[in-house]
Structure 1
Amino acid sequence: MDLHNLIGFLIHRTDVKMTNYFTKRLKPYDVTPEQWSIISILCDQSGTTQKELAEAIDKDQTTVVRMIQSMVRKGLVKKTINVQDKRSYYLYLTEKGTQIKKTVLPVVTEAHQSVTSNLSKEEVQQLQSLLNKLYATDY
């Protein structure tokens, strides 16, 4: 068996390469790929709780708390207390966070196009479908 053709190895290798590429592309904007994922979610789902956000980006809550604290210090995210559960916060993009999203979105779109430039539209759709199917599998 060729271990370099195992799906886990191929996905990990691709993830590392893409993460490094996106990190370089986002560095001038002082945003990490993980922070970009939070910005994207909060743009679509304003008022998300830290717990919901952790589930959406598949990270543990402790990691998300640290990420949010960093983004609050940068002025990208604001927290408001959940009156029903004082231990919980609702998260919102600030004006600066919204502006960063508008500024960085074309960069992310161009990077996506660059990464998928060797694939046809059908192959991109097939890859999205297969990766979502793998992600949805219980293991």
Structure 2
Amino acid sequence: MRKNDRFNSVQFIGRLSEFLTDTIEQELKKVGYPSLSASHFEILTYLIRKKDSQNMTNISEAIHRKKPTVTILVNKLESIGLVNKEISEEDKREYKVHLTKKGRGFRPIALRISSRVFSLSLWGVNEKESEDLYLLLEKVYLHTRKKL
């Protein structure tokens, strides 16, 4: 591998991230959520998968965002009726976030968007290549997080 190829790999990661973010946001606009970002989508899909309320720390760790950022994102989701926040019974300093009825109704939309993004990003990639790619990207991600 030439030095330029290694640099181009980093550029490709950035472009792919941008493309996938744009795709998610375009799909959200198509289904009537033009003000939501890919980060809002991550929170919603996380809550859908978990099925019960989650505290801000869990959400923050799951989507790899700082807690103040998650607070802003959750407040937006709450303002449009997709989630509710309640003070945690276990720790009065913490909020628990759960999907509203409207938020639970977002599940089929999330599945369609996730399926579209998945098929676009891994089209033509076999299962072994997909596993190898995941392991490599995880290694790069974890290494860069340690350095920051």
**TM-score category (smaller protein):** 0.7 to 0.9
Q: Which runs of 4+ in 1 moved over 6 A?
A: none
The answer to whether the 8 Å contact 1:3/1:9 transfers is no
Alignment RMSD (CA, Å): 2.0
Q: Does 1:26 align with 2:31?
A: no
The answer to whether the 8 Å contact 1:48/1:92 transfers is yes
TM-score normalised by length of structure 2: 0.81
TM-score normalised by length of structure 1: 0.86
- Counterpart of 1:9 in structure 2 is 11
CA change 1:21–1:4 in 2 (3 A) is farther
Residue-pair matches, total: 139
Q: Does 1:129 align with 2:135?
A: yes
Distance, in Å, in 2 between the alignment partners of 1:76 and 1:134 is 34
Structure 1 position 4, deviation (Å): 7.2
Q: Does 1:119 align with 2:113?
A: no
The answer to whether the 8 Å contact 2:20/2:117 transfers is no
In structure 2, the residue corresponding to 1:85 is in which secondary structure?
A: coil
- Counterpart of 1:41 in structure 2 is 46
- Counterpart of 2:104 in structure 1 is 98
Q: C-alpha offsets along residues 89-114 of structure 1, whole Å, 9 cap, x if unaligned?
A: 11111111111122331232023112
In structure 2, the residue corresponding to 1:78 is in which secondary structure?
A: strand
> Which runs of 5 or more residues in structure 2 are unaligned?
none
Structure 1 position 82, deviation (Å): 1.2
Deviates more, 1:65-74 or 1:37-46: 37-46
> Which runs of 5 or more residues in structure 1 are unaligned?
none
The answer to whether the 8 Å contact 2:24/2:113 transfers is no
Question: Sequence identity, in percent?
Answer: 23
